[in-house]
Amino acid sequence: MKLLHKDIEKDNAGQVTLMPEEAEDMWHTYNLLQVGDSLRASTIRKVQTESTTGSVGSSRVRTTLTLCVETIDFDSQACQLRVKGTNLEENQYVKMGAYHTIELELNRKFTLAKKSWDSVVLDRIEQACDATQKADVAAVVMQEGLANLVLVTPAMTLLRAKVEVTIPRKRRGSCTQHEKALERFYEAVMQAILRHINFDVVKCFLVGSPGFVKDQFIAYLFREAVRQDNKLLLENRPKFMLVHSSSGHKYSLKGRSWQTLRTKRLNLLAW
For 193-202, write each residue's pLDDT tens digit: 999 999 998 9
pTM of the predicted model as reported, rounded to 2 decimal places: 0.61
DSSP calls for 48-88: EEE-TTS-EEEEEEEEEEEEEEEEEEEETTTTEEEEEEEES
Nearest to 208 by CA among 141, 254, 262: 141
Comparison of pLDDT for 173 and 180, the residue scoring more: 180
Rounded to an integer, the average pLDDT of 233-241 is 94
**256 pLDDT above the threshold of 60:** no
Select from 91, 92, 116 the least CA-distant residue to 40. Answer: 91
Mean pLDDT to the nearest integer, 140-146:
94
Q: How confident is the model at residue 261 (pLDDT cuts 50, 70, 90)?
A: low
In this prediction, residue 260 carries a pLDDT of 55
Query: What is the band of 57 on the pLDDT scale with cuts at 50, 70, 90?
Result: confident
pLDDT bracket for residue 269 (50, 70, 90): very low
Q: At what angle do helices 119-129 and 23-32 cross, to 10 degrees?
A: 170
Gap between the Cα atoms of 248 and 253, Å rounded: 9
- Residue 63's DSSP bridge partners are 43
Domains of the chain by range and CATH?
2-129 (2.30.30.870), 136-269 (3.30.420.60)
Residue 131 has pLDDT above 80, yes or no: no
Longest Cα separation, the chain: 100
Per-residue model confidence (pLDDT) at position 262: 54
* Lowest model confidence (mean pLDDT) among 6-15, 59-68, 88-97, 150-159: 150-159
List, for residues 206-219, the tens digit of each pLDDT value.
999 999 999 999 99
| Distance of alpha carbon 64 from alpha carbon 84, whole angstroms | 14
